[in-house]
Structure 1
Amino acid sequence: MIRPSRFENAIQKLYTAFHNNTLNPECCKQCAVGNILDNTDSWKHLSDQHGSTQLNYVGRVHQTLGRRFNGYTPLELLNIEAVFLKACGFQIPLHHKNSKPENPTDSDVLFNGLEAVVMHLCALDGVENVMDYTAMFKLKIPLPNKGQHLYSTCHS
């Protein structure tokens, strides 16, 4: 299956950030969107609060003009970041009074965020979920004396 280049680039950047410990939900340059946009924080000017899905004036202008940042519209970027922050356990938009995970850079917290973002990116581009591991657990079990096969899927 051919995947859009924006999707492939975003997945690669997020994967690299996760494995290099440079994924940080509280930093505009190291969060999901910050990494997708090459560790820049210019995207934060599209909204008034980190984690908000509401475009501000600048964001609406860019959205209306059809601007794309590494392939993504301003609204898509804000939604990607919101998905990431929620999956990491943050109450959005980020604010010192809102709840957040005890250790935001814990690898389990970050993996939850990464998994949610990858699923969201797949949905945006109509790509089969690359994080779906259920196919790995499908077993082809031969039935005795029948020449048929029983397909089984592991369910929890």
Structure 2
Amino acid sequence: MKTTKRLEAALIKLYNAYHNNRLNPEDCTACAVGNILDNHDSWKHLSDQHGSLKLSYVGRVHQNLGRKFNGYSPEEILQIEKLFLDSCGFKTPLCHYNPKPKNPTSNEVLFDGLCNVVELLCKLDGIPYILDYSKLFEQEDGEPVYHLETFLG
């Protein structure tokens, strides 16, 4: 499957962050967007509230100038972050009195968040969801439509 450079780069960063325990929804340098943007926190100024889709003045300026951050516009960055936080069980926009998950860095919570982020990243690039395995179970007349090759070694 052909992907875009920004999607491929984002997937590699998210994969490495997840497997190296460097993914944390409560740390703007280690959340989904923080990892996509090379563990910098300057992106947080694109919105006045963490987890909001509303661009701040700074965010609107960057958006109107057509600026991209590792290939993503300010609006796309806010979409990615909000989805990640929501998928991890946070109520957005974040506020100290809003409920949050009991264990926001558990592998299950992070995995759910990442799957939803990957689906959004694919949608933003017009690419079919790369984690969709449903085709593997399609049948026609009782026979699988698609076949997997196995390698024994």
Question: TM-score, normalized by length of structure 2?
Answer: 0.90
The percent identity for this pair of structures is 59
The runs of 5 or more residues in structure 1 that have no matched partner are 141-148
Partner of 1:56: 56
Question: How far is the alpha carbon of 1:150 from its aligned partner?
Answer: 2.7
Task: Report the Cα distance in structure 1 between the residues aligned to 2:95 and 2:106, rounded to whole angstroms.
Answer: 20
Question: How far is the alpha carbon of 1:90 from its aligned partner?
Answer: 0.4
Matches within 5 A, 1:22-101: 22-101=22-101
Question: How far is the alpha carbon of 1:99 from its aligned partner?
Answer: 1.1
Q: Which has the larger radius of gyration?
A: 1
**Amino acid aligned to 2:74:** P
Aligned residues: 145
1:130 aligns with 2:130: yes
Question: TM-score, normalized by length of structure 1?
Answer: 0.88
Partner of 2:15: 15
Secondary structure, in 3 states, of the residue corresponding to 2:142?
strand
1:112 aligns with 2:112: yes
The runs of 5 or more residues in structure 2 that have no matched partner are 146-153
Taking only aligned residues, the RMSD between alpha carbons, in angstroms, comes to 1.5
Whether the aligned pair in 1 keeps the contact of 2:136 and 2:144 (CA below 8 Å) is: no
Partner of 2:151: none
Partner of 1:2: 2
- Give every structure 1 segment of 4 or more consecutive aligned residues whose post-TM-superposition deviation is greater than 4 Å: none
